[in-house]
Every structure is written in structure tokens, then in C-alpha cells.
Amino acid sequence: MMQALRAARGVRTFFGALFAVAVVMLGTGATMAETSWVVLDADRGVVLAEQGGSRIQPPASLAKMMTLYITFEAIRDGRLRWDDRIVMSRHASMKIPTKLWVKPGDTISVREAVDGMIVVSANDAAAAIGERLAGSEAAFGRLMTRQGRRLGMKHTVFTNPSGLTDGLRQTTTARDMAVLGLALQREFPKEYRLFSQPSLVFRGKRRKGHNNLMYRHDGVDGIKTGYTSVAGYNIASSATLNGHRLIGVVLGGKTARKRDEQMAALLTRFSRQKGVTAPTPLVALAVPVPTPRPPMEVAMDDSMIEQGDGGFPASALTGWHIQIAALPGQEAARALLDKVTKSVRSVHAGASAQIEPTIRNGKTLYRARFEGFDDEATAKRACAVIQRKRLDCIAAESP
């Protein structure tokens, strides 16, 4: 009887501990999923209003704002030139989309890397720049963090140049990201104008940007969007409205549309306020703010795709892909890809697992596929490996 009671107490203790861990994990997830925001008066460098502006959250691809800041600094100091060639390492080339799809050993110019990071949030370009300037992504992350401290980003820790999820180690706040946006405007006014690019042409193919708010809201001229499954939908925006120059940051949006709508509402609301005062400026007024370009009328469809992990990646621009199945659930597609990834990469180490949504007969299906094969023969060899596992596989040329 005593043994049974001890066993029962042990079971209760185990499940009690498990429940406590689950509560902590759920609490952490809830915190990361909460939306926080801040609006900054860019002319005076003061915070007008915020909600959870100092809450710790993941930056997602807003981290590339710091990668770009350090790149601009290197160009200004003569350590980089716009036409310098950056070698794409295998490590950098294997970053998940979105990316420029540059093969290992090939090169891109600094200008192409910068435009790629700004317009399509290219993760491979960010990694390549980080490796060039610091030797490795980790070393560049430390450089980013130190630079952030010098700018006054008190609560931000960077661990890589792309903003891809690194557990919960890579973190920031809405207030810190507003400080970074202001520093980009003031220290690099000429380069800052690059954030207004709606698209880029890379190796003969035009790529459209993700920052749809620039085309929906008059006066908005940048800066950056981001998404990961951990961070949610993030955005940093700059706008001149009613004579006010504002910087807004929203972190943890539930969808891209809701995030954009919240940002538009905040910018509109605070552009109408006059005589708002705030405490000490965040950044000294050192460089004149550039004159914003006129609003652009650009036709762009809404996209389900946001850069970063956890979303639906963009398809490769060239090459071949293989498709294994089209399944009714995203999790099922992910499980299937996880099951065969090792086998596929034994044929081609650079193969990139993808989940692509499609509509059939009014229902959404999720294609489980691998992108990035250099030729038909390699794609078919990968299919042969898959078929030996008694799974379907089709090799096709990417559009």
C-alpha cells in the first residue's frame, strides 16, 4: 500500500512539474505573440506614445536594418565599395527563403546585396555580408549588438544578420527599433532613400518588395517588414504627414494585413496631434532628415508570403524542384518534409524544403517540395531516393 501511495505521489509530482513547465512555455509564447508598438517624432527624436514599447520580442527581419546600418557605415568608412564582390558561401547560400538564390562560390555586388536585403529581405545576402564584414554570422551578431548599444538600443541582442529565429536569444523592443530607424535616417540620409524601392531587377528577373504599406498610405517612404512564426508580423515605418515626420514600429502582429492597418492608424492618429511633448531626445539631431519622395502609385497584389522562417517561402527563380505531395494540412506537409530531408540532401546538400499553398476545387492544399536543384538529372536522382521510400515524387523545372 505504501509503495502504491509513493508511486501515486511521484506521478502527481511529475505531472505537476510538467504542468508548471507548460504554463511557463505558454506564458512565454503568449508574451512573444502580443502586439507592441511605439510612435516617434523623427524631427525631435522623442517618443509620442507607446504600448508595450519596452517589451522584449523577436525582431524577425527588422534585424536587417542593423545589418544595413553596419554595411552603410563600412561604405562610408571605405571598408566596402558599392561594386565590391561578395562571395556567397555554402552556409549563406543554404539560408531559407526569401533569398536571391545565389549558388555557392558565385558573387554578388555590395549594391545587389543591399537592394536584396531591402526589397525582398534576402537572407542569403544578409549572411554573406555578415561573413564578409566579421568572418561569421555569430561574430557579426556580436558586432550588431555592440553597435546597437552605442545607438541607445538598451534591450536588443542580435545573434545573426538576417533575423531568422535563434531560439529566444535574438530579441529587441519596439522602442529600440524606432531608435535604429531614426539613426538610419539621420546618419545615412542618401542611403536611406533606398528603403523606398518597390522592386529590384536581379539577374534579369524583377522581384517585388513586401512593404505594401508604402503603396496604401500616402507619405510612407519605408522602412522594413519582417515575419517569423515566433515573432509574428513586424514592421518599422517612416512617414511625413501633415508636416510631421514620424517613425512607427509594430511588433507581433497577427497577420500582415492587421499589422499594416494598425501602423496606418497610428501614423494617421499622431500626424494630427500638435504640441505633443516628451522627455529627453533618444538620438542627437546631427544629420538633416532627407526630403521624402512623393507617394508612388504601384499596383501590387497582397501576398501570403513574408520573409523569414515559419511562413510560406517564395519559389526559386531558376533551376529545378521536386514535389512529393499536396496535403490538406501545413503540419502534415512539414512532417513529410522532415521525414525525407536527410535523404534528399544526401543527393543535393543545397536542397531547400518548401511548403507552398495552392487552391484546388475551393480547398487549400499545401505542396511539400524541395527547391534549388541545379539540373534535371540531380532532381530526378533525388526523386529516385524518395520513391524508394514508396512515396510519390515529380521533378519539374521551376518558373
Catalytic annotation, residues: 61, 64, 121
> Distance between the two ends of the chain, CA-based, in angstroms?
70
For residue 137, give the amino acid letter.
Answer: E
- The amino acid at 294: P
Give which of 82, 295, 291 is closest to 193, Cα–Cα: 291
Asked if residue 342 belongs to a known ligand binding site, the reply is no
Task: Kindly provide the b/e burial profile for residues 338-347, where b requires at least 16 CB atoms within 10 angstroms of the residue's own CB.
Answer: eebeeebbeb
DSSP letters along 39-68, please?
A: EEETTTTEEEEEESTT--B--GGGGHHHHH
Q: Which candidate, 342, 325, 323, places its Cα nearest to that of 383?
A: 323
User: Is 348 strand, coil or helix?
Assistant: coil
Q: 3-class SS at 275?
A: coil
Taking the CA atoms of the chain, what radius of gyration do you get in angstroms?
A: 23
Asked if 287 and 187 touch (Cβ cutoff 8 Å), the reply is yes
3-state class (DSSP) for residue 273: coil
Which phi and psi angles does 361 have, rounded to 5°?
Answer: 50, 40
User: In whole angstroms, what is the distance from residue 346 CA to residue 75 CA?
Assistant: 40
Q: How far apart are CA 220 and CA 74, in angstroms?
A: 27
Three-state secondary-structure class, residue 323:
strand
Residue 44 has phi, psi (to 5 degrees) of -105, -15
What Å distances lie between residue 74 and 16, 80, 188, 330, 352, CA to CA?
54, 5, 12, 42, 31
Helix, strand, coil share of the chain (percent; to 5): 40, 25, 35
d(CA 83, CA 297): 31
Question: Would you give the DSSP letter of residue 171?
Answer: B
What is the torsional sign of CA 380, 385, 388, 389?
negative
Binding residues: 224
Binding residues for substrate: 224
